[in-house]
Amino acid sequence: MTSGRRTSRSRPTTGPPLADLVHLLRELEKVDQHNDSREWQAFAKKLRRLVRDGIRLRKRPDFEPRRYESRIRLIDRRLTALAQWRGPDGKPVYRDADALRLAKRLRKHWDHLFTFLDLPEVPFDNNLAERYIRPAVILRKNPPQADRTAPNRAPPPKPS
């Protein structure tokens, strides 16, 4: 169907949380706030472009994996190039710590990052999952109290 990397393994229909592209873009923005090295800027620019190209391809109204097979293979090649964090000599390719960390993450999760290009029923974001768990998270952060109408009082002193 697509490149050997994609068809050689059976993949789940959803990736791990770290494989979510929206969170990956958010992390790029966060790192940009404190890292302005040239190497980081070049790495982040390539990764942002790659993610946005994948999302843009998927959003096409006529999207079908077979129709865009060559573009999907190109995205795979670009991802593979970014995820190469060791050179032929075994030494890290990136000197910037953030670029190296994200390259390792890309390598670890590369099978899940662009699943939405192979399986049209898989969304490129995890908004549905996040909306589903939101009530539980809100409840965890704001636990219900026994009596909300009672005035706020200090807890009774502990007996000595």
Each residue's pLDDT tens digit, 43-88: 999 999 999 999 899 888 888 888 888 899 999 999 999 998 888 8
pTM > 0.75: yes or no = no
Q: Which structural domain, as residue segments, surrounds residue 11?
A: 4-141
For residue 57, the tally of other CB atoms under 10 A from its CB is 18
Residue 103 placed within a domain? yes
Residue 133 placed within a domain? yes
Residue 151 placed within a domain? no
User: Which tokens in the block code for residue 15?
Assistant: 């990736």
pLDDT at 135 over 90: no
In the structure, what pLDDT confidence band is assigned to residue 18 with cuts at 50, 70 and 90? very low
pLDDT of residue 149: 59
Residue 88 placed within a domain? yes
Q: Which of 97, 99, 119, 95 is nearest to 107 (CA)?
A: 99
Query: CB-hemisphere CA count at 13 Å for 136?
Result: 5
Contact indicator for 116, 58 with CB cutoff of 8 Å: yes
Residue 70 placed within a domain? yes
Residue 152 placed within a domain? no
pLDDT at 16 over 50: no
pLDDT at 3 over 50: no
Residue 123 placed within a domain? yes
Task: Give dist(CA 1, CA 73) in Å, integer.
Answer: 10
Higher pLDDT, 115 or 131: 115
pLDDT at 101 over 90: yes
Domain count, the chain: 1
In the structure, what pLDDT confidence band is assigned to residue 144 with cuts at 50, 70 and 90? confident
Residue 55 placed within a domain? yes
